[in-house]
């Protein structure tokens, strides 16, 4: 996996964990799994940023999504 794929996976997991955390809190449950997924997503994003020699800026994130989706469809 290259750093773009790792970044996209981390962002997608992070976005999907937010509603799970909100749902668990609203049901008065402890969001254990969702919190672990959010921590894992953060670790993936940090790993992607540190593994790319030039790093990522905010404008590079949508381009990374396009590259990953384009690679999957191509």
50-69 residue pLDDT tens: 999 998 999 999 999 999 99
Quick check: 45 and 10 in contact, CB under 8 A? yes
Quick check: 20 and 69 in contact, CB under 8 A? no
**Can you list the positions of beta strands (E) in 1-74?**
none
Quick check: 11 and 41 in contact, CB under 8 A? yes
Quick check: 57 and 48 in contact, CB under 8 A? no
Rounded to two decimals, what is the model's pTM?
0.90
Q: Would the pLDDT of 1 be above 90?
A: no
């Amino acid at each position: 996996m290259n750093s773009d794929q790792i970044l996209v996976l981390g962002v997608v997991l992070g976005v999907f964990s937010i509603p799970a955390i909100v749902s668990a809190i609203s049901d008065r449950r402890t969001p254990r799994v969702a919190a672990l997924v959010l921590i894992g997503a953060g670790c993936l994003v940090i790993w992607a940023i540190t593994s790319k020699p030039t790093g990522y800026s905010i404008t590079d994130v949508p381009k990374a999504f396009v590259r990953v989706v384009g690679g999957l469809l191509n």
